[in-house]
Every structure is written in C-alpha cells, then in structure tokens.
Amino acid sequence: MKINALLSGLLLSLTIVSGSTAVFAQDDEEVRGAFLTTRPKASSKPKAGPAQKPNRRRPKPTVSKTPSTGSDASTKVETTEPAQPVGKAISSRMGLGLTLFMRDSNGMAVRTDPTSEFKKGDRVRVLLETNADGYLYIFNTTNGGEPVMIYPDPELDEAGNYIQAHVPFEIPASTAAEERLRWFVFDQNAGTERLHFVFTREPLSGVPMEDDLITFCKDNNTKCPWRPAPDLWSQIQAEVKQPAQVTKPQGAGKNQTEVESQAATRGIGLNRDDPEPSLIMLTTSTDKKVLVATLDLIHIAVAGKTE
C-alpha cells in the first residue's frame, strides 16, 4: 500500500486547519447540527456479515431510448442523462467530518485527540465523512516539498474516489490483507507531513482518476504517484486559505463502534443517532464547490532518546 509506505514513521502533533482564516466555531453544536441533519433519520441497517468493498467509481449515466417515427421502426435515438445522486440531499454548505483513531495494545481502534503527540511505533487511521456526494482527493507534502497524490491511487478502489454523503471512508483501510497495511505507522524519522483532503462536488479538471489514472501509472511508472501541476496546486492552496468553521475535537478515548466499522468497510450510510465525527469542518459560503482540510503530522524527537 503506497500511502502506508509514504507516510509511515511519523511522530506527530496533529491539527486540522484551513489556512490562517480557519477558526473554531463559537457554537460547536450549531456546526455539528448543520452537518448531522443531512444524515438520514434512524432506519434499519443490514445485519453484520462479511465485509463488502464499497464502490468508489463514478455513478454511470443513465441512457434513455426514444423510438423513432418513420419507416425504419428499429432506429432509436439515445440520449445520455446525468445519473441521479446516490447519496442523500446535498447541504447548502460543504462539510467534512474527520475522526482520528489509534491502535491500542489490544489491537482496537480508539478515538484519539488530534492534538496528541505520538511516539515511535504508534499506529493511527483516519475516518472521513462528507455531507454530500462528491469526490475526495488526498495530497501529501513532506517538509514543504512537492505535493504527491496518494488518493485516488491505482492500487486502491480501482483508482476511484467517489464518496457518497455520510458513508464514511477510512484511510488506511482496516480491511487490508496485512496488519502492517491497516495503519499509518510511526518510525524514528523526523519531519513534517501535511495531508490535504480536497472534497469537491465535481471531479478536479486535469487530475486523472479511475481508468485514466490506472493507464497513466502503467505507462509512466516513474511518474507515479501522480503530481499536480503548479497552477492546480496554487488553486488548491488558495482554497486552504478560505474561511471555514471548525468544531473542537471530542470523544477521545472511546473505542470505534461496530456501526462505524461496518459503515466504512461495507459502504453503509450513517444515521443521525450514530457516532459523530471528532472534528467537523464547514464552508462559510453556500456557493462553494471545493472544501480543503489539512492535517499536519509533525514528527518530534522524544526527549532523552536517540532517534
């Protein structure tokens, strides 16, 4: 799993920001309410069973056929219509929920305060939830260096990145074949990693995904992971500086619930009475089509120990 290899080995303090203009909401409940009311009301969920891999590819367009009039009755005219949204109603403000989980000594995933500091050997995973159908891109920079795209990835989800409203997405995936691929693992290497979570209503122009990304990486192996052009990266950085409301982290110390685990691994939507994300970010503008959230992962040396 490339993202695990790329980001393994970080001892960090972690913050979620949206540039210098990001502020914690004065009323956390108001922001959480705006995000959670777009979840459906409580309803029955599928019973526990084998994990099923969620489909991350774009919904296929529907094709309608109109019989022709005239002597050739077999002739038909096909028109392509936009696919109906798979998720729930789109909120007027784009929202992204994030929960950081850490692996405890028993192998359980436990909610962790994002401002915590971690040590060598600690393992963490991120659970993401959006309030609308859209596309999720994850870029990584190391020590302020050049960005690389770690999601979508040709080896994950068939290079798809389509996310349904309130159907959580975890990275790395808890369903990976090997334990070492299910977590970001921290080693002794110091440095600063920044993850950029880019949530969009429509695919980013000029960014390969699905079959295009698979083909690109197959034909240009030395150029993968894919890297965005400077002009596109400048646009993303500009979005980082846009005002956004961010709630304060909550729920640290609680185990990941069975509901959260099944939802992420089986593509099941969360209800209003299900556990809330630890952090929630909302755009302040109702006409925004892009939301960028960043996580700073800072590896610091442990006092009294040689790294």
* pLDDT single digits (tens) 202-252: 999 999 999 999 999 999 988 899 999 999 999 999 998 888 889 988 999
Residue 125 has pLDDT above 70, yes or no: yes
DSSP string, the chain: -HHHHHH-S---BEEEEBTBTEEE-S-HHHHHHHHHTTSPPP---PPS-S--PPP-SPPPPEEEEEE--SS-TT-EEEEEEPPPPSSSPPPSS-EEEEEEEEE-TTS-EEE--TT-B--TT-EEEEEEEESSSEEEEEEEEETT---EEEES-TTSGGG--EE-TT--EEES-TT-SSGGGSSEE--S--EEEEEEEEEESSPPTT---HHHHHHHHHH-GGG-S----HHHHHHHHHHHTS-EEEPPP--TTPBPPHHHHHHHHHTPPPPTTSPPPSEEEEES-TT--EEEEEEEEEE-PPTT---
Average pLDDT, the chain: 80
Query: What pLDDT is stored for residue 159 in this prediction?
Result: 92
Q: In the chain, pLDDT over 90 holds for what percent of residues?
A: 46
Residue 87 has pLDDT above 80, yes or no: no
Taking a C-beta distance cutoff of 8 angstroms, is the pair 245, 31 a contact?
A: yes
Query: What pLDDT is stored for residue 190 in this prediction?
Result: 72
Query: What pLDDT is stored for residue 71 in this prediction?
Result: 45
DSSP string, 130-177: ESSSEEEEEEEEETT---EEEES-TTSGGG--EE-TT--EEES-TT-S
Query: What pLDDT is stored for residue 303 in this prediction?
Result: 63
Residue 94 has pLDDT above 80, yes or no: yes
Query: What pLDDT is stored for residue 177 in this prediction?
Result: 81
Task: Summarize the confidence of residues 195-200 as an average pLDDT.
Answer: 94
Distance CA 244, CA 79 (A): 40
Q: In the chain, pLDDT over 70 holds for what percent of residues?
A: 75
Query: What pLDDT is stored for residue 8 in this prediction?
Result: 37
pLDDT digits (tens, 9 = 90+) for 140-180: 998 889 999 999 999 888 999 999 999 999 988 898 888 77
Taking a C-beta distance cutoff of 8 angstroms, is the pair 161, 151 a contact?
A: yes
Six token digits for residue 273: 């009475």
pLDDT digits (tens, 9 = 90+) for 19-76: 434 555 657 889 999 999 999 988 655 555 554 567 888 887 755 555 555 544 444 4
Sign of CA dihedral 104, 109, 114, 118: positive
Query: What pLDDT is stored for residue 195 in this prediction?
Result: 87
pTM of the model: 0.80
pLDDT digits (tens, 9 = 90+) for 224-235: 999 999 999 999
Query: What pLDDT is stored for residue 45 in this prediction?
Result: 56
